[in-house]
């Protein structure tokens, strides 16, 4: 892809995560990472010295939040959109973190990536299947939210890149849980599921799932992680729950 197709400085702004411990450049009008990305990073049980692959890394936010919390990790990312892959490299350089960013599709991994095994794979697969029926406001944002590759392809790519006993951690819509579990059947176990509820008493619309390659442990469904205090949204800057504040602002791990 030509440099002309990459983001210009005027198209970007800098945004802070983890209480501004991690400052990254993101497109003003394109796909921008949010709370799901930070929760994904917080849920990964990586330890110093291990290796991590972020499938669909975008601008690298999940990877950088994870590395900021854990410390020394070998970092790789896969991104299909060249502009976002380039942005992840720029962000890694500005943060002083070494990250190898591969460009390619999850359905056809680059050969350099197929040659590497990882202790952890993290992923926030697009939440919707297929292309939009109408022209998107921003093509990059649409590509980040929609995919032609079904979830089974994402799970297969992740498990193939994990070493035996390696961990897959991902965040997705609750209604896609049957598809996720079906794709993991017979290949990964010790599955733990953490529902993400916007408020106490509300249905969880997202889940974080963690599974271990080749393990045979039972599935555990945890109590919901509640994002906000109060029964309803009443004002801008709606208060986070104490648990969410600890994870999203104070860089705490998401333990479950």
Grade residue 40 by pLDDT with cuts at 50, 70 and 90: very high
What confidence tens digit (pLDDT) does each residue in 171-196 have?
Answer: 999 999 999 999 999 999 999 999 99
Q: Could you tell me the two tokens for 170? A: 């991902």
**Average pLDDT, integer, range 122-132:** 78
Range of the structural domain that residue 160 is part of: 7-248
Closest to 90 measured CA to CA, from 31, 4, 7: 7
Could you tell me what percent of the chain has a pLDDT over 90?
Answer: 82
Nearest Cα to Cα of residue 78 among 106, 112, 114 = 106
Q: What percent of the chain has pLDDT over 70?
A: 87
Report how many domains make up the chain.
Answer: 1
- DSSP assignments along 149-214, one per residue: S-HHHHHHHHHHHEEEEEEEEEEEEGGGHHHHHHHHTTTEEEEEEEEEEEETTSPP-EEEEEEEET
Q: Is residue 32 part of a domain?
A: yes
**CATH number for the domain harbouring residue 241:** 3.40.50.150
- What is the C-alpha R_g of the chain? 17
Does 25 reside within a domain?
Answer: yes
What are the pLDDT digits (tens) for 191-225?
Answer: 999 999 999 999 999 999 999 999 998 999 999 99
Residue 2 lies in a domain: no
């Amino acid at each position: 892809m030509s440099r002309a197709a990459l983001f210009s400085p005027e198209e970007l702004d800098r945004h802070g995560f983890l209480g501004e411990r991690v400052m990254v450049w993101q497109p003003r009008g394109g796909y921008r990472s949010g709370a799901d990305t930070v929760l994904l990073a917080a849920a990964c049980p990586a330890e110093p010295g291990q290796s991590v692959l972020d499938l669909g890394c975008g601008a690298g936010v999940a990877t950088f939040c994870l590395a900021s919390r854990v410390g020394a990790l070998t970092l790789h990312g896969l991104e299909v959109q060249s502009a976002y892959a380039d942005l992840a490299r720029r962000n890694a350089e500005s943060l002083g973190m070494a990250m190898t960013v591969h460009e390619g599709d999850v359905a056809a991994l680059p050969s350099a990536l197929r040659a590497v095994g990882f202790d952890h794979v993290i992923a926030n697969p697009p939440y919707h299947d297929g292309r939009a029926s109408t022209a998107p406001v921003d093509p990059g944002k649409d590509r980040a939210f929609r995919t032609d590759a079904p979830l089974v392809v994402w799970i297969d790519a992740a498990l193939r890149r994990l070493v035996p006993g390696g961990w897959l951690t991902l965040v997705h819509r609750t209604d896609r849980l049957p598809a996720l579990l079906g794709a993991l059947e017979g290949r990964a176990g010790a599955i733990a599921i953490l529902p993400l509820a916007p408020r106490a008493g509300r249905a969880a619309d997202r889940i974080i799932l963690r599974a271990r390659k080749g393990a045979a442990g039972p599935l555990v469904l945890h109590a919901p992680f509640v994002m906000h205090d109060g029964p309803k949204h009443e004002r801008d800057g709606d208060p986070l729950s104490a648990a969410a504040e600890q994870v999203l602002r104070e860089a705490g791990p998401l333990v479950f």
